[in-house]
Amino acid sequence: MEVYSATGRRKSSIARVRLVPGKGEMRINNRDVLDYFKRDTLKMIIDQPFQVTETLGKFDVVARIQGGGLTGQAGALRLGISRALLQFNPELRPELRTAGFLTRDPRRVERKKYGRPKARKRFQFSKR
């Protein structure tokens, strides 16, 4: 049995993904995907690589995700699934590339600067 594994990252989330040929079941941190990601939009983000490559329901996904929030974790999982699909079939690269699923999102949280309450916000200015 072939197992395709890859890692996806977004913000501070890291997803270690294993794809196993199967019926389309997803387990994330030993929980069902609908139990872990309760929002429909997050489930949709995770399914996107399978829809683009028309492999929906052909692989079981086993993932370990840590760090960050739910949206960052869903993005990391999407990147990990896309990279694992490339291991399964390198000819899927053009579809995944045009959909933008192979690009690591480089955006990070901007650091807080001294003399300010947040990264860009300033204290209230009083002219008089």
Query: Rounded to two decimals, what is the model's pTM?
Result: 0.91
The domains located in the chain, with CATH, are: 4-99 (3.30.230.10)
Task: Kindly state the tokens that stand for 5.
Answer: 């594994």
Q: Is the pLDDT of residue 1 over 90?
A: no
Which of these, 19, 106, 31, lies nearest to 70 by C-alpha position? Answer: 31
Tell me how many helices (H) and strands (E) the chain has.
4, 5
Which of these, 6, 4, 1, lies nearest to 88 by C-alpha position? Answer: 4
The pLDDT tens digits of the residues spanning 48-106 come to 999 999 999 999 999 999 999 999 999 999 999 999 999 999 999 999 999 999 999 99
Mean pLDDT within 110-124 = 96
Angstrom distance (rounded) from CA 20 to CA 17 = 10
Token match 């692989």: residue? 59
